[in-house]
Amino acid sequence: MSVLGKGSHEMTAVHLLKAYCLPTLTYGCENSVLCESENRKIGVIWNNCFRHIFSCCWRKSVKPLRYFCRSLPLSFVIDQGKLLLWKKLFTSDNILLSTLAQMTLNRFKAVWSVYGVQSPTQSVTEIKSAIWQTFVRLRSL
């Protein structure tokens, strides 16, 4: 923000945030189980980044900002990463990886159902679209 200047070039700051900070923040989350307090803490970090970029009140929701910046809540980003990793394992030619994915099928069916993903054979684009549509639907409630 010191380079971009506060209050200007917000979308550039969001792009940099998503390109450089988000991977660092979510590193390893695809293959781990976060407890609720950890999930909440990193969600607050993500929300505070948007509040800082757009100079928002700290008590206001950032859902509209995330929507217009096409940025998912961090819990959705983590679930998306888990689903995409699991899809790679499930469709892998490696027998060990695909067997591991088959063994955890029921666990991931629960995550699929939240986002309306039908099966691991759906394309990456369809999975990402289903997750985004869930965010949009929940945002409007």
Tokens of 17: 């945030």
pLDDT for 22 equals 92
- Helices 74-90 and 95-103 pack at an angle, to 10 degrees, of 130
Distance CA 70, CA 64 (A): 10
Counting runs of H as helices and runs of E as strands, what totals does the chain give? 8, 0
Long-range contacts of 122-125 (CB under 8 A, 24+ apart): 124/84, 124/87
Which tens digit of pLDDT belongs to each residue from 3-42? 666 666 888 889 989 999 899 988 888 877 788 888 899 9
What is the mean predicted confidence (pLDDT) over 65-85? Answer: 92
119: left (phi over 0), alpha (psi -120 to 50) or beta: beta
Q: What is the pTM of this model?
A: 0.85
- Mean pLDDT, residues 114-140 taken together: 89
**35-60 residue pLDDT tens:** 888 889 999 999 999 998 888 888 88
Predicted local confidence at residue 1, as pLDDT: 62
Handedness of CA 41, 48, 130, 29 (dihedral sign): negative
Provide the pLDDT confidence category of residue 140 given band limits of 50, 70 and 90: low
In this structure, what token pair is assigned to residue 8?
A: 């200007």
